[in-house]
Amino acid sequence: MYEDRAPESVWLPKRRWRKLKPVWEARHTGRADGEALGSVLHQGLVIRAAFDRLRAFEVGTGRERWTWQVPGRDVLAAMSDEVVDGVGLLAHWPDVDDGRKQASVTALDLTSGETLWTAPRALDELWHDGSELRSGTVALSGARAMVATGTAVAALDVRTGRQAWVVRHDRDADVRIGAAGEQLVVVTRHAGTTTVRAVSVADGRVRWKKPLAVDGPVAEVRLVSADPLLLAVEGEGRRGANCLLRLDADGNTVTEFAAADDGAVIVPHAPWRLDHGQRWTGWAGDTLVTFVDSPSYERLSRLAGFSLSTGRHLWTRESTWDIGALAFHRGHVVTLRHHEHEVEERVEWRCEVRVLDPADGREVARRRLRVTRDEPYAMHLHGDRLLWVSKRSAPDTPPVKAYDWR
């Protein structure tokens, strides 16, 4: 997809604004399939998670490699963002009142679908609203699998599930964790104040602990990334600050991203603003890419770029409709827009994929996909293959389908 190196004439609409057909569509299982709650691309497999199972499909053929059923009557509650040495970490609990008291954490081999171990871990004190996956509950790094509760963070051996260390924190139902390299970041919020800790993955030693420097009380906070260390903050009340904060290696705020030059405020990484819990903030090089509010309506239609090092607003790109999926691939930003289009009183479904240069937001390539009504949940790119993970799956809606970029 390094297509911005080609002559400008290559990207004229007559040459490149053509529809791509799916090269394969994964098979529906023939029974009710829940909405997608998560997805991951790993070692030639695209893995789609629903409340009761994970299904892995081969990127090359669409053949189902394995299915993992959530044990017993449990439902999937959390997934790690990281995959370490082929291992993913999951949390699940019985879908009944007080079911979170009987929660479990499972380490899963994502290459084979085999369970490595399952350990009980009460998660009843965590704040969790709705049926989406709870972000920041489990994390992986090196030889450690880590899980957050309302009173502590515990680290388990990633291969055996044996407990290695425990770090207590102020009792908090809104704790979030994320790992990168040798550091675990722990974010807790209590009574409008937020505390950030850096913990050694190896031994649980607290390297530093600092309050989050924001103006006014905090209603919600999410850990977007542990490296770079990015936090999405929603202030309390109408005068509360909505922003993204970048912290340095010592926990000091080095950059605050609040609004574009035209005053449009940042849409934080928060599931109450989105149809699902996907991460809508990413970066390519020194450019942070996120959404800002439209001045006329609140939709995810205005994508903006900011300098990670200085916080300076670099560009804003307008879209006429919501962006349905966002990905970062080979140093570029890739957006997918799926929408209705009326033709002579007949409704068609259209989809445009655009590749943007993160430095200035300029479009460097675009394609149309041949699509139907099925909505995207997520988009992954593997080489020149684009993987569409469907939000729902039914007999006429494949859970995953693939397109070749050409």
The domains of the chain are located at: 70-211
Asked if 369 and 353 count as a contact pair (C-beta separation under 8 A), the reply is yes
What is the pLDDT at residue 320?
A: 63
CB burial readout 319-341, b (16+ within 10 A) else e: beeebbbbbebeebbbbbbbeee
What is the pLDDT at residue 28?
A: 85
What is the pLDDT at residue 25?
A: 96
Per the prediction, the chain carries an average pLDDT of: 88
State phi, psi for 307 to the nearest 5 degrees: -75, 125
What is the arithmetic mean of pLDDT over 147-160? 95
State the Cα–Cα distance between residues 133 and 144, nearest whole angstrom.
21
What is the arithmetic mean of pLDDT over 43-50? 96
What is the pLDDT at residue 33?
A: 66
Does the pLDDT at position 327 exceed 80?
yes
The model's confidence at residue 6, banded by pLDDT at 50, 70 and 90, is very low
Does the pLDDT at position 311 exceed 70?
yes
The model's confidence at residue 308, banded by pLDDT at 50, 70 and 90, is very high
Question: Going edge to edge, which strands form the sheet with 363-369?
Answer: 19-20, 363-369, 346-356, 332-343, 325-329
- Cβ burial, residue 238 (10 Å; 0-12/13-18/19+): exposed
* Residue the block writes with tokens 């979030």: 176
What is the arithmetic mean of pLDDT over 316-324? 81
Asked if 25 and 396 count as a contact pair (C-beta separation under 8 A), the reply is no
What is the pLDDT at residue 322?
A: 80
In sequence order, which residues have a C-beta less than 8 Å from that of residue 43 and are 6 or more positions away? 86, 110, 111
Question: Going edge to edge, which strands form the sheet with 115-120?
Answer: 74-79, 87-94, 104-109, 115-120
What is the pLDDT at residue 14?
A: 46
Does the pLDDT at position 3 exceed 80?
no
Give the closest residue to 36 by CA, choosing from 284, 311, 397, 290: 397
What is the pLDDT at residue 275?
A: 52
State the Cα–Cα distance between residues 379 and 197, nearest whole angstrom.
32
Query: Of 168-182, 248-262, 295-309, where does mean pLDDT reach its minimum?
Result: 295-309
- CATH 2.40.128.630 given to domain 70-211: yes
Does the pLDDT at position 262 exceed 90?
no
Asked if 376 and 391 count as a contact pair (C-beta separation under 8 A), the reply is yes
Instruction: Provide the strand spans (E) within 191-228.
Output: 193-200, 206-211, 218-226
Task: Name the 3-class secondary structure at 15.
Answer: helix
Q: How many CB atoms lie within 10 A of CB 142?
A: 14
The model's confidence at residue 306, banded by pLDDT at 50, 70 and 90, is very high
In this prediction, what percent of the chain has a pLDDT beyond 70? 90
pLDDT tens for each residue of 180-189: 999 999 999 8
What is the pLDDT at residue 304?
A: 93
What is the pLDDT at residue 299?
A: 63
Q: How many CB atoms lie within 10 A of CB 159?
A: 13
Has this prediction a pTM greater than 0.85? yes
Structure tokens at 281: 């903030």
Does the pLDDT at position 203 exceed 50?
yes
Does the pLDDT at position 5 exceed 60?
no
What is the pLDDT at residue 31?
A: 67
Does the pLDDT at position 15 exceed 80?
no
Query: Of 75-89, 136-150, 335-349, 358-372, where does mean pLDDT reach its minimum?
Result: 335-349
What is the arithmetic mean of pLDDT over 29-49? 87
In sequence order, which residues have a C-beta less than 8 Å from that of residue 309 and are 6 or more positions away? 255, 286
What is the arithmetic mean of pLDDT over 283-298? 81
What is the arithmetic mean of pLDDT over 313-341? 88
* Residue the block writes with tokens 């924001």: 214
What is the pLDDT at residue 32?
A: 64
pLDDT tens for each residue of 103-126: 999 999 999 999 999 999 999 888
Asked if 54 and 78 count as a contact pair (C-beta separation under 8 A), the reply is no
Q: At CB < 8 A and 24+ separation, what contacts does 18-23 make?
A: 18/367, 18/368, 19/368, 19/369, 19/370, 20/367, 20/368, 20/369, 20/370, 20/403, 20/404, 20/405, 20/406, 21/370, 21/403, 22/370, 22/401, 22/402, 22/403, 23/385, 23/402, 23/403, 23/404
